[in-house]
């Protein structure tokens, strides 16, 4: 099947790195980007993506999807979770990791990518990919210059996400897992 023959799926994101990463992984559909800034409610990862997908679908009048990634520290009952971006922005990865490592016996964490998909006139759905791992002091920054990739080591690896080349990271990535499940979902809804 030629790329132009593939069904299009609209991804609502302003993040070029995220769009590039999704494009590297999605093979069954043609990815189209819409750059719309959506408000984000304070809620669970599932509730956040469902609400954003519903709002985006209403705004553009077409089926579309959004994503959100959480980093959940097990010793902190899942926090910072969907608020990891703001935790890194205000604390920095090093201070956040140092705080967890100094004050917790359990340094395990879950990285969760939640994809919210909505079709006009339907309720949104949430699909999640989860990668278990642990927190360490920052190491590497191959994938992104900022964010939490440098402090998360996925189970089965001795490297942080930030030390991995993109193809290696995709093998462990919660985003890859979520995208694979999302592709299967879309293929079932053709």
Q: Which pLDDT band holds residue 183 (cuts at 50, 70, 90)?
A: very high
The predicted pLDDT at position 79 comes to 92
Parse the chain into domains and list their residue ranges: 3-188
**pTM for this one?**
0.87
What class does CATH assign to 3-188? alpha beta
- Residues paired with 153 in a beta bridge: 134
pLDDT tens for each residue of 142-166: 545 568 999 999 999 999 999 998 8
Distance from the Cα of residue 102 to its chain's centroid = 27
pLDDT tens for each residue of 25-77: 988 889 999 998 888 888 899 999 999 999 999 999 999 999 999 999 999 99
Q: How many CB atoms lie within 10 A of CB 189?
A: 11
The predicted pLDDT at position 147 comes to 82
**116 or 14, which is more confident?**
116
Q: Which residues of 144-172 are buried (b: 16+ CB within 10 A; e: fewer)?
A: eeebbbbbbbbeebebbbbbbeeeebbeb
82 phi and psi, to 5 degrees? -70, -5
């Amino acid at each position: 099947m030629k790329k132009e023959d593939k069904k299009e799926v609209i991804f609502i994101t302003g993040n070029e790195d995220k769009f590039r990463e999704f494009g590297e992984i999605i093979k069954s559909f043609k990815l189209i980007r819409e750059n719309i800034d959506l408000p984000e409610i304070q809620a669970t990862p599932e509730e956040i993506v469902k609400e954003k997908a519903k709002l985006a679908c209403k705004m553009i009048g077409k089926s579309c999807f959004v994503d959100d990634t959480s980093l959940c520290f097990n010793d902190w009952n899942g926090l910072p979770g969907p608020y990891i971006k703001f935790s890194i922005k205000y604390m920095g990865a090093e201070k956040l990791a140092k705080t967890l490592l100094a004050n917790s016996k359990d340094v395990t964490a879950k990285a969760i990518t939640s994809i919210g998909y909505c079709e006009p006139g339907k309720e949104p759905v949430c699909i999640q990919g989860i990668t278990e791992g642990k927190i360490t002091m920052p190491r590497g920054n191959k994938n992104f210059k900022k964010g939490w990739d440098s402090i998360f080591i996925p189970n089965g690896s001795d490297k942080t996400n930030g030390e991995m080349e993109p193809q290696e990271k995709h093998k462990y990535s919660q985003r890859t897992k979520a995208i694979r499940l999302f592709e299967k979902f879309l293929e079932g809804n053709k």
